[in-house]
Structure 1
Amino acid sequence: MDTGTHVVMGLALGGIATIDPVVTATPATAQAVILGTLIGSQAPDLDTILKLRNNAHYIRNHRGITHSLPAVLLWPLLITCTLLFFFPNANLFHLWIWTFIGVILHVFVDIFNAYGTQALRPFSNKWVALGVINTFDPFIFLIHLLGIIIWKVGAHPGITFFTIYAILLLYYIIRFRMRNNVEKAIRAKIKNVTEVIISPTYRFNQWHIAVVTDEFFYVARAKNDEIIIHEKFAKRPIPDTPVIKAAIKDKNLSAFLSFSPVYRWEVDEYDDYYEVRFIDLRYRSKGHYPFVAVVQLDLDLKIINSYTGWIFSEEKLRKKLELIPS
C-alpha cells in the first residue's frame, strides 16, 4: 500500500492497542506502543531509500528482503529496543507484540497489491501478488481516516476499529470476487490463454489486464463488467543476437527483466548507435506504456546510456537518456 494508508493503519492499530490493559496501565507503555505500531507499520518500506541510489537497485529490491520472513521478526526487535531507550519503563513484551502486529499488518496488506512482496523469503524468491487492491485504495484509506476521527471524538477504539475491519473483510471478499469475474470474462473472450495478469486501479470498477496466449500478448481493460481489448502483439522470444546479448548485461535492463513478467521488445538501429527497448504491458495508461527499460549501445556494442523506470512521455525519456539537454 502507499505510505498514507500505512500511516492510518498504524494509527488505527495504536487505537486498538489501547484496549490492552497492560498498555494503558502506564503512560510510558501507552506512548511507546502507539509509536511502535506507527513505526512498525512503516518500517518495511525503509527500502524506498534505494531510489536515491538508482531505479535498477530499487526495482530489484523494493518489497524484497525488508518484507521477508526474517525481516518480519527483526523489525519488531529493532524498533522495540530503540523505543525502550526512550521509554525505559515501558512493558517490554506488550511493546514488542503490538509492534510485531504493526509489521505483520504492513507486509500482509502489501500482498494484495499487483506489485506484491517477496514475503516468503528465504524459502522462495517468488513475488506474492494477489492483485485485488490498488496500491492506493480510496475506500481503505478513507474508512481508516473516518475511524481515527470517530475514536478521537470519544468513541470506544475497540468497537470502532473492529467494526471497520469487519467492513474491510467484506470489502476484500467483494474485491476477490470482482477480480475472479474479470479473469473468467477474459478467458471466455480470448482463446488459448496461458496467463492473465490483472492489476486493480484506484477506480472501483476498472482493472488493467495483460493476457498471454500461445501466440499473442493482449492488453485490455475491464470497466463496469465490460472487457475492452486495446492492443494485440505477436509473442516473440527474445532473439539470441549480439546486440541483445550486450544489452541484457546492462543493470537497468537486467533489473527490468527480473521484475516484469510480460513485455514486448524492440531493437532500432541508427547511424551511430543501437537502441534496445523493453516495454512492460501491465500498466497501459492513456495509450502509453510507462514502465520501460531502454539501453543504447554504440556500433561496437558498448553501452552508452540506459534507463529503467516509469516514464510518461518520450521527451522525458530522451532527457533521462541525455539525448536532449534538460
Structure 2
Amino acid sequence: MLVCILIGGMYYALPYYVSKPGMAKELEPIISVDNGYKEEGSFMLTTVRMGRANIYSYLEAKIRKYEEIYPLDMILSYKETEDEYNARQLQMMAGSKLNAINVAYRKAGLPVNYKYKGIYVVQVVPGMPAEGKLQAGDRIFKVDGHSFPSSEKFIEYVSKKQAGDKISLTYLRNKKNNTVTVSLKRFKEDPTKIGIGISLVDDKVIIVKPKVKVKTDEIGGPSAGLMFSLEIYNQLTSKDLTKGYQIAGTGTIDEKGLVGPIGGIEQKIVAADRAGAEIFLAPNENGTKTSNYRDALKTARDIKTKMKIVPVDTFDEAVKYLEKLPAKEKG
C-alpha cells in the first residue's frame, strides 16, 4: 500500500508549477549562417526548467534555494490549457527568432524581407464559436477561400461582418489541410467586437541572404532573443565579438533591438555559472530598482560567482560593450 502511495505521488499533479535552474547552451551549434565566421569563445542561451508540480517536486522546491513554486493562474492565462500554453511558448520563441534575425541582419547592413503565410492559433476562447473546432497550433491560411497579406487584414475582413454570419477557415493541423465553417459572435467582454474567439500571431517567413538556420527544437519562450541576435550578428561579421570568452545572457528582443525583461533571472544566473560562463548580459530595464540586472547582481553575489554581470538596454549597447572588451589572454 505504501509503495502504491509513493508511486502515485510521482504522477499526481498539483495545481502548481515548479521552476528550477536549467542549462546554459552554446549557440554556435544551434545557429548556422551560410559561410558564417567562426568564433573563439561562445555565446550561450540560458534556460529555466519549468514543469507541473507533483508532491515530490513541490516539497523539493520548498527546501531548495533557487527553485520557485507558482500557482497555475500565474503561468496559465484564464482558462488556458497546458497545450495552449505550450503552443504560446513555441510561438513566442518563433517570434523571438524572427526579431533576432531582423536586428542582426539590419545591424550588418543586409536587407530583410518577409513572406506572410497566415496566422497561428495560440489560444481558443471558451464559449466562443471556435471552441471545439480549432485548437492551439492550427495555422489558418485562408478565410472564405481568400489569402491575406497580414493578420491585420484578416481581422479587418472578419470585423466587417455581422454576428451570426459564417466564415469558412482553411487551416493546417498535423500536416493535413482542413476546412471548417464557424459562426461569428459578440465578445462578452466587449460586445462592440465580433469574432470567432481565438488569440493569434502571424505566421511569416523571414527572407535574408546569406541564409540562416536557428534550430531550437522544443525550447519555448522569447527570452533567448538577445543572445540569438548576438550569435547571428557575430557569424555575419568578421570581428569576433566573443574575444575568446564564454558569454551567457538573457532578454527578449524586439524589431527595434530593445532588450526586454524575462522571468527566472536568478535561476539563469545559477545555470550560467554552472556552465562556466565568464560574462552574463542582463536586461537593465532602464535602470529600475527592480530590474533583471539588479536581481542578477544579487544572485551572483549570493552564489559567489566570478562571472561579470553586465546591464544592457539595447542590442547596440551589448555590441558596443563587446567591441570594447579586451581579447582574452590565451594560455
- Higher share of residues assigned strand: 2
Is the TM value for this pair above 0.5?
A: no
Q: Which has the higher contact order (CA 8 A, sep 6+)?
A: 2
User: What TM-score, normalized to structure 1?
Assistant: 0.26
User: What TM-score, normalized to structure 2?
Assistant: 0.26
